[in-house]
Chain A
Amino acid sequence: MQRFRADGFDEFVAARWSALLHVARLLTGGDRQRAEDLVQESLVKLWFAWPKVAEQAPEAYVRQVLVRLAARSARRRWWGERPVGELPDRPGPGDVSAAVAERSRLEAALALLTPRQRAAVVLRYYEDLPEGQVAQALGCPVGTARSHASRGVARLREILSDSARPVK
């Protein structure tokens, strides 16, 4: 029964684990531990819905769960997320590689957005989803999703204005 129920689940998880983890990391503003927790929780939910969604769109389902869990987890106080004026843990010039420094800068900037703005920006620019699907994942009207994305990008532009130059 269980074997039949989870038929194809392991393959899906193995194939999508890395991508889901990266999305979760962007959604959490670079918090790797929390990202893993979110992916884990989303996949547990997916497992229970697997018989229904396996033939349709499991990735869309798990993405939607992930976005909502990320938004919910960001509201918890104990995650310790708080907006600050200056970007935290800005890497030093020579202590890490350029790619890691750039990623850290991006994640730190994303962490300063609201959870919904962050989710809208990630889904729109990283996942390259159309506005309708972004709105569906966020559970809001298309206009609201568009507004979240544009405000998020404006805020990122502001934050990264001094470091938008590509780091090579």
Chain B
Amino acid sequence: MDDFERELTRMMREGRAHTPFAPGHRARLYDGIRVRRRTRVLVRAGGSALAVAGLSVGLAFLPQLGSGPAPADLPLPATGSTAPPRSGGPTGTAEPSTSAPPTSSSDSSTPGGDSPVGTTEPATTDAGSTASGSASDTTESGTSEPGHDGTPTYPPPGG
């Protein structure tokens, strides 16, 4: 600490004047505390009201969100679900596909991709099987899936 810094310290400390804590100061302080407390209560109440409003709006929209996307996924589950069981059925993936075509659509799409065998063919056969509901027909006409999509292709081979 050099001379100037010592001088600075002295100047700061010598300029200090004693100011008593007057009743006016006290009244003003407690007025400030009262106002602040009131503001806090209001802010908390407002925050709670906002939270409740947000939750209720969210809950009101949730059911609509849940029912909306289900029908749109219908075609996808049918194609993917049947493919794994037909090709080799290494795992029990066939069960979910047959039991619940619409719901398993999203799940079956990934297993179908994993199967080593031609993924495109089984996918189409499943769609046909689920639509018709007869497993024997689908096994014979494993390649005739296109026939399900377009009827004119099937009749020519049959004669």
Contacts and interface: CB of A to CB of B under 8 A. Distances in A.
27 contacts: A13-B21, A17-B20, A17-B25, A18-B17, A18-B20, A18-B21, A19-B16, A22-B17, A41-B32, A43-B29, A44-B33, A44-B36, A48-B37, A103-B14, A103-B15, A106-B8, A106-B11, A106-B12, A107-B15, A125-B5, A125-B8, A126-B12, A128-B9, A153-B4, A156-B8, A164-B7, A166-B7
A153 B29 contact: no
B8 A21 contact: no
Contacts of A156: 4, 8
A110 to B, nearest CB: 9
Contacts of A107: 15
B9 A14 contact: no
B28 to A, nearest CB: 6
B147 to A, nearest CB: 76
User: Which of B4, B8, B26, B40 has the most CB atoms of chain A within a 10 A radius of its CB?
Assistant: B8
A134 interface: no
A34 B23 CA distance: 19
Interface in A28-83: 40-41, 43-44, 47-48
Interface of B: 4-5, 7-21, 25-26, 28-29, 32-33, 36-37, 40
Contacts of B10: 166
A17 B16 CA distance: 12
Given A17-B20, A43-B29, A126 B14 contact: no
A122 interface: yes
Contact of B12 (A19, A26, A43): A26
Given A21-B19, A125-B5, A47 B12 contact: no
Across chains A and B, which 9 residue pairs bring their CB atoms closest together, nearest first?
A103-B15, A17-B21, A126-B12, A14-B21, A44-B32, A18-B19, A125-B9, A22-B16, A106-B11
Given A47-B33, A48-B33, A125-B12, 9 more contacts: A14-B21, A17-B20, A40-B25, A40-B29, A99-B14, A102-B15, A107-B15, A122-B12, A126-B12
Given A13-B29, A126-B9, A126-B12, A157 B17 contact: no
A153 B11 CA distance: 13
Nearest to B11: A106
Contacts of B18: 18
Contacts of A103: 11, 14-15
